[in-house]
Structure 1
């Protein structure tokens, strides 16, 4: 039998102090990556003003290539060394990478995405640059351009769009009941699920069939849309997937009432796959759709990353 820790006032105080320090460390790391990205952009654009993204080798901590807004290579190491980009600028950028990368959790850096050639390479999208969606294969996960669409089913059916764009940090959701409570719940579930909250403007819009605001059964859909827009998987991972689940503040996916009704609504639409709470697996009795049970938001992300690889 596992004992429960007694939470007295002194213990609670230590717990709160630790949590505050933990969140401050996460915020500091996000700021470090954001500032490193801005500084690298400033340096490189002195000599390559059309630079829109960088590819880096995170093991060697070196700059690998510089891309323009169409995904074309402007500079590539080592073949272009000394041409187009001076050794002094390259060395300075490599120094930045050498200082920043050891702080870890690069997956949580808003602009540092897994490169098309796979890890250890990452693509860093430079700020204040419009990168068209046609360049997605070369420059993936562009803020302000990448939109993750999630189809959700429950009391009402909806299509959910999440967009992350440069600017002051903010989070808005249009089309849900109790917006403030929903925002707080989604943010807590994402952070407690092990993911950094994205930098910039996070905007979620909801298109419902009925026109009624969404309830908490769409929490999982909203969170997965945001994480998709943040680059944890490509939008095609969300194709034909329906999400049915509430989220706890700790990132757990909770069962919902009438899960079978929600699944039947998905079958009536073009959706072929459903992510539901693991606790709802024993209650589901709907055929004709692939059902995946997840215990928490992290498992949902791992499942979607599997879909992403299968669709690539």
Structure 2
């Protein structure tokens, strides 16, 4: 008979996984919102929100846009609606306050208003491998829960998650495509080269979204950013933990 301890751990594993997915939704929503806002207010570094409504946009020193204040910078109605819809979708993932990420902070003087820093623009970091402290170190990666690889690659940001892209050479990208097409044939996801571009195509066997495709083109250094289609695992992580 399966023990109570097993079922407790079984539940807690699912809860932890759900928390990770909620955090992933938050992070990806913030990347979208940051892009939308910076198209019209390039200096934006943070926003204040009340539910799904943006109430203020901040730069490093002051408020540069505020709801119902026409003397400050402008955000179009279309952008505000897009942000509102994104926040509505995002906030619906949070049914318990403890699951809200710590960097979404309560604004003390405003009831039910949260402030969160916008993520750095990933486009500025994808042109090469330089981070804030110099070049990012290469590591060995595999596809999570598989024996594929290992693939030498660099993270494109110092802070990194399993679904974030990694930067690889053309040779490594070719190995990834071959492993996908040969060793994982029939999974519903394929990779095809079109000149210098690598096109990933999937159907409903792989994702229940009606199918789609994603094209990866080389950056100015000839490297490819591949991520978001499966979780990566950095192989050194277990070794680092063991020697810590």
Q: TM-score range with shorter-chain normalisation?
A: 0.3 to 0.5
Considering fraction of residues, name the structure with more strand.
2
Taking structure 2 as the reference length, the TM-score comes to: 0.46
Considering fraction of residues, name the structure with more helix.
1
Taking structure 1 as the reference length, the TM-score comes to: 0.36
